[in-house]
Structure 1
Amino acid sequence: MSVFSTYLQLGFFHIFNLQAYDHLVFLLALCAPYVLSDWRRVVALVTSFTVGHSITLALATLGFVQYSAGLIEVLIPITILLTCLVNMSRAGRDFKRNQPIVVTLPNVLAAVFGLIHGLGFSSYLRELLGQNTRPVLELLAFNIGVEMGQLLIVALILVLGFIILRVFRAARRDWVLVVSGAAAGIAVILLLGNFTD
């Protein structure tokens, strides 16, 4: 197996994994306001997040950025909580269909929050790389793997939302509030856990 495919798989299974539950909850919160027909917006949103985390993942892995792991562990649940609060404040509102897909507040927030999550990924990747000082190929493959994992998770969330909204006839506003509320609850537990350890 090539180095590229190895790190591609590592990136994919790093995100598509219950041990990455904080990132999974963030993706759940990120996608909560959207339905299956919004898939282009969701792909743009997830890619904005990937761009953000790829930047800090590369900078931290290559040693250009130093950070406090404890601070990142606190900031990650805060990003989830803020995303949930934005969702809840906008629940029930329709999106402007003529609004550009890329330049929207959710995409900007996803990219900014991605910067924080990238630092969370970097400690794991640095352990994998060991003494490799120029892991450009590995970084690229890992990021592509993470993006593939994220898109699969998002597809599952959108399909679940489709079933709940179409088959069980739930109101879209209720779906957004319930999913965002559950994600916010998990975020609060994660946040409090950082102060009780």
Structure 2
Amino acid sequence: MENFWFYTKLGLEHVLDLAAYDHILFLMALVIPFSLRMWKKILTLVTVFTITHCISLALSVYKVVEVDVAWIEFLIPVTILLTALFNLWDSLKEGSVLSFQLQAVATGFFGLIHGFGFSNYFKMLMAGEDEKFNPLLGFATGIEISQIIVITAVLAVAAILEMGLKLPRKYFVIGTTSIVILITIPMIIDTWPG
């Protein structure tokens, strides 16, 4: 059990590490278009993302699937950019059920990519260790706790700006999404594997 909590702490720190903010940016981009009233949509997207990144994390750790680390490091900021661009496109028109379904499918695919990214870090931590299940479960738990923290923070900032400062939702979405895009473009350039 001690091992579990140790790896939970590492998973939590890995996502919340401001020096490695790619996962925070993705979560921001994912929930920026939503308010607390849309909690079912947020829960759906976060659940899809969680399931898929846990699947690819486990597949990679147990060496069922192996991927090129350089391409994963490049694709992670691409997932952030595509999610942010979708937000801009969707905020300029009325959202539809179809666009949410498309977003859910894309989020699942992006979750697979992020899971492979998590596995790179986890495998470095586990070098030489034989027993992987409890550490993997702890690490994944830490990731999930950190995701809840990030999502709650984004929703709280949105609520403060909208209710407290009376900022229209559309301006919040366009403004914050634009910031995410500006931060992400240099990440894509820096991680290009070619």
Normalising by the residue count of structure 2, what TM-score does the alignment of the two structures yield? 0.91
Kindly indicate whether the alpha-carbon contact (under 8 Å) linking 1:32 and 1:176 is maintained by their aligned counterparts in 2.
yes
Give the percent of matched residue pairs that are identical in Structure 1 and Structure 2: 34
* Residue pair 1:7, 1:142 contacting (<8 A) in 2 also: yes
1:102-146 superposed Cα distances (whole Å, 9 cap, x missing partner) = x83222221110100111111110111122234112111211110
Give per-residue Cα distances to partners, 1:40-98, cap 9 Å, x unaligned: 321321221111111111111111222111111111111011101111111055556xx
Tell me, yes or no, if the aligned pair for 2:71 and 2:193 is still in contact at 8 Å.
no
Q: Which segment is superposed worse, 186-195 or 161-170?
A: 186-195
Structure 1 Cα separation of the partners of residues 192 and 132 of structure 2: 34
CA distance in 2, matches of 1:43, 1:153: 14
- Change in 2 beyond 3 A, CA 1:61/1:196: closer
CA RMSD of aligned residues (A): 2.1
AA partner of residue 29 (structure 2): A
Which of residues 167, 172, 176 in structure 2 aligns to 1:175?
Answer: 172
Q: Give the alignment of 1:1-197 within 5 angstroms.
A: 2-91=2-91, 93=93, 104-195=101-192
Query: How many residues were matched structurally?
Result: 193
Structure 1 residue ranges (4+ consecutive) displaced by more than 3 angstroms after TM superposition: 92-96
Question: What TM-score comes out, normalization by structure 1 length?
Answer: 0.90
The whole-number CA distance in structure 1 between the counterparts of 2:148 and 2:40 is 11
CA contact (8 A) 2:60 2:119 kept: yes
- Structure 1 unaligned residues grouped into runs of 5+: none
